[in-house]
Amino acid sequence: MPTFQPWTLKQARALFDKPFLDLLFNAQEVHRKYFKPGEIQVSTLLSIKTGACPEDCKYCPQSARHRANVNSEQLIQVEQVLDAARKARDSGSTRFCMGAAWKNPYDRDLPILEKMIRGVKEIGLETCMTLGMLNDRQANRLAKAGLDFYNHNLDTSPEFYSSIVTTRKYQDRLDTISAIRQAGIKVCSGGIIGLGETIDDRAGLLVQLANLPEPPESVPINMLVKVHGTPLSNAEDVEPFDFIRTIAVARIMMPRSYVRLSAGREKMNDQIQALCFMAGTNSVFYGCQLLTTSNPEEDRDISLFNKLGLTIERVSTARSDVEDMNELTKKIVPVNTAQYYNAED
């Protein structure tokens, strides 16, 4: 159970209704209280299995049910992943995210996924995966391999969810997040703005995330990338100020979480992105490709970072929390050995 006072929809909606400049000021105050200003976390995302997904998410060009121009590819080779990870590291990323278009992974795929995790960590990057739904056993295997983060977005509010996805329930997503957390993997979970949702839906999404037993360590806020052939290809554009408001409210409601400016960034000019950073963004996807959609080129990002005086956060990737626990467990001296001291003797 949460140890904090849960957020209500009314409280979240009140934040959305605040005057824009007051909201940004409050968000920046919260951000500076919990994070070093001017420092951002940088991730790179690679599609390790593309297309032919059985899900019917209306926003996704990888769904086999839609007619987007996406070539299906099987799970790629481990060495291809490691080559991409090296390039990401050399370009400045500190976390490498691997995404597969699955409803859920099969057990036969886990040995390859475990090799990918171990290999990327040896390169010196934090690891993240998004593979669809996981059961407890699968989550534990990925944790033992050293996976640092798992991404599983809630997408939108519980009330609006069935309008976007019908091939899984909202509770399925919550159950996967619970399995991830119980396995000791850090949670990356956020949503998408621009699906046709209301302001209450945006508030409801953030209430769901903030009121998890432990809020996600990373909260990606995506702006819908409209892809021809998907049911939402003609969705109404999101007003930039409304998107920035969502970033600011997420920062206030989840003060210790990294808030990531994610998909849709290619369509944002430098001024919009600067306001997102002012509103509390301190994480971005970096590189030219996000799964099957484009992202700003690295040179443009570097130029923007320099203009704003942003520096990349450095991390230690020696071992994950689960690996540390396993190592400590090995050092525990068993009972009934010469090294064990029994106070009752």
Q: What angle do CA 99, 252, 44 make, to 5 degrees?
A: 20
Catalytic residue among 89, 95, 141, 188: 188
230 vs 228: CA distance, rounded Å:
6
**108 belongs to the catalytic site:** no
Determine which one of 53, 141, 168, 265 is catalytic.
53
R_g of the chain computed on alpha carbons: 21
β-pairing, 293-294 with 289-290?
A: antiparallel
Q: Facing residues of 53 across strands?
A: 63
The answer to whether 60 is a known ligand-binding residue is: yes
Helices (H) and strands (E) in the chain, counts: 12, 12
Q: Is 260 a catalytic residue?
A: yes
Q: Which residues pair with 151 in a beta bridge?
A: 188
53 noted as active-site residue: yes
Phi and psi at 100, nearest 5°, equal -125, 135
288 belongs to an annotated ligand binding site = no
Compute the Cα dihedral for 302, 223, 170, 67 and give only its sign: negative
Please identify which of the residues 168, 260, 265, 276 carries the catalytic annotation.
260
- Token pair of 343, please? 């106070």
Pairing of strands 39-49, 186-188: unpaired
Nearest Cα residue to 155 out of 140, 147, 166 = 166
The verdict on whether residue 276 carries a ligand-binding annotation is: no
Q: 276 an active-site residue?
A: no
188 annotated as belonging to a binding site for a ligand? yes
Q: Which one of the listed residues 89, 95, 97, 202 is annotated catalytic?
A: 97
The annotation status of 128 as a binding-site residue, yes or no, is: yes
Q: Is 3 helix (H, G, I), strand (E, B) or coil?
A: coil
**In whole angstroms, what is the distance from residue 328 CA to residue 297 CA?**
42
Residue 288 known to be catalytic: no
Catalytically annotated residue among 60, 89, 251, 265: 60
- The catalytically annotated residue of 89, 95, 128, 173 is 128
Binding-site entries for [4Fe-4S] cluster: 53, 57, 60
Residues annotated in the binding site for [2Fe-2S] cluster, as ranges?
Answer: 97, 128, 188, 260
Residues carrying an active site annotation: 53, 57, 60, 97, 128, 188, 260
Pick out the residues of the known binding site: 53, 57, 60, 97, 128, 188, 260
